Amino acid sequence: MIPEDLRYTAEHEWVAGDGSGVVRVGITHFAQDALGDIVYVQLPEEGAEVAAGDSLGEIESTKSVSEIYAPVSGVVAARNEALVDAPEVINSDPYGAGWLVEITPGDPVAVDGLLTAGAYRELTES
C-alpha cells in the first residue's frame, strides 16, 4: 500500500507533484495506521513559509500527538479545510481525500531528493 508515483520522507509524509509547480503533502498509510484514530489536525495558514524538515502542524490521535514535517521548503498554497470537521478522513483515505497541505516549493527539484516508493518500503520494513 505504498503508491509508486509518490515521493516520501523518513518521517512518513508523502509528496505528489503534477508538474504544476505545486506539491500535495499528506501522511502515509503506515503513519496513519501507527497513529490510530485521528481526532484533530492543526495545519498552517495559506501563505505561511515553511522550511524543509520544520514542523508545519500536528496530528492528534486517540493514542498520541505527532508533528507533521515539511518535506520541502516553500509557501503553503492550500490547506485541506475538510479535515477541520472530518480529521478521520486521513485514516480512511490517506493518499486521497486525506491530504494535508499543498506547497509551492522554492526549489521544484527538491522533491526529486525525497525517498522513492522502493526506498520508503525498505525503511518501513526494517
Among 1-5, 44-48, 94-98, 117-121, where is mean pLDDT lowest? 1-5
Residue 20 has pLDDT above 80, yes or no: no
Q: Pinpoint the alpha helices (H) of the chain.
A: 29-35, 82-85, 89-92, 117-125
Q: Which of 69, 71, 79 is nearest to 44 (CA)?
A: 79
pTM: 0.95
Place of cell 516508493: 117
Residues 6+ positions from 22 with CB-CB distance below 8 Å:
77, 78, 102, 103, 104
96-114 average pLDDT score: 94
State yes or no: pLDDT of 19 exceeds 80.
no
Is pLDDT larger for residue 108 or for residue 98? Answer: 98
Q: Classify domain 17-115 at the CATH class level.
A: mainly beta
pLDDT, position 113 = 93
The Cα–Cα gap between 56 and 21 comes to 19
